Structure 1
Amino acid sequence: MAASAPKPLSERPAFLLSQVGFHSAELFAAGLAPLGLQPRHFGLLTQLAGADGLSQQQLADLMAIHRNAMVGLLDDLEERGLVERRRHPRDRRAHAVHLTPAARRLLAQATAVADTHDETILAPLDPAERVELVRLLGRVAEHAGLAPGVHPGLRHH
């Protein structure tokens, strides 16, 4: 009896997730490039927009990344005048991280890029399918132990 042919890659969910994820990441990075941002910077600015004034350590914990990676990301943004580190009001040993007005303006532009990117990637889906896809992907990410809203690639920068 001959061995059956393996399932085509186009029918393997893990392959499709990888294929679409790679394509999406490339397009998103290209969309942010004119703003001088990388996706990892967008992620950090987005987190800070909802948690302005957290300490570097609190921010690293929130994003589930090593504090050294956080310092590098913050250094990048601070050099560009997008964040300020100030003494934490309740812990003199810590620094609180704050978005600058320039960062808020840039984040608004980057968010528009992200919105356009989402529309482009999900164009073939109707609104209900989009909601369902996001819900299902969220379940898969949760099952994998991934931090909500945090790209696992941040751990390596």
Structure 2
Amino acid sequence: MVNKKQEAAAPGPVAPVRPWDLPRFRNWLAVARVHQLWKKVFGEALAPLGIQVAHYDVLANIAHVPGLTQQALAEKLLVGRSAMSMLLPELERRGLIERRADESDRRLRRLWLTPDGQALTERAMAIHVERLEAMMTVLSDAECDAVGEMMRRIAASMAR
């Protein structure tokens, strides 16, 4: 005969673990919320320039590495060819970028800012700097460095 203590100790159905049951969920959610809020705030700040965050990502990366290949840009931005095939022609039609064949390998297309693209990118980068400083001012330099180091460790772990 089974007594009440044995009955209470007997294994029953195991409840599935939910994300919010995990101790680290709160921190993950904070990172995700900051990312979403940044996209919203930065997107609103870029809107008067007639560009979206995705456009800015392309333009800023070409400004940083003139002559970047389309493939390298897609890898850097963690997007597929389809996303690039939508963004690049639009920026090209607007006269902001040029796509040129690589001199040594005609299969590669290299990306360059036009003078209009350079001017627009400079204005957008000024907005980026302003919003980034405003966002991060709530942290000390040491806290900011610690957050960055932690996020780089997480990214490296995920990339493996």
TM-score, normalised to structure 1, is 0.77
- Report the secondary structure of 2:68's partner residue: coil
2:56 paired residue among 37, 42, 56: 42
- Report the secondary structure of 2:89's partner residue: helix
What value does the CA root-mean-square deviation take over the aligned residues? 2.6
1:26 paired residue among 32, 36, 40: 40
Structure 1 residues 94 and 115, CA, compared in 2 at 3 Å: closer, same or farther? same
The answer to whether the aligner puts 1:108 opposite 2:122 as a matched pair is: yes
How far apart, in 2, do the equivalents of 1:126 and 1:54 lie?
Answer: 35
How far apart, in 2, do the equivalents of 1:59 and 1:130 lie?
Answer: 27
Pairwise CA distance, 1:92: 2.6
Pairwise CA distance, 1:127: 1.9
Question: Where in structure 2 are there 5+ consecutive unaligned residues?
Answer: 1-19
1:21-74 alpha-carbon deviations (Å, 9 max, x no partner): 211211011111111111111111122123222332343344342222212110
Pairwise CA distance, 1:95: 2.7
Determine the structure 1 residue equivalent to 2:131.
Answer: 117
- Report the secondary structure of 1:144's partner residue: helix
Determine the structure 1 residue equivalent to 2:100.
Answer: 86
Aligned length: 142
Pairwise CA distance, 1:100: 0.8
Determine the structure 1 residue equivalent to 2:157.
Answer: 143
Question: Where in structure 1 are there 5+ consecutive unaligned residues?
Answer: 1-5, 147-157
Q: Percent identity at matched positions?
A: 33
- Bigger mean CA deviation after superposition, 96-105 or 25-34: 96-105
| Contact 2:57–2:77 (8 Å) recurs in 1 | no
Q: Which has the larger radius of gyration?
A: 2
Higher RCO, Cα 8 Å, sep 6+: 1
How far apart, in 1, do the equivalents of 2:38 and 2:133 lie?
Answer: 11
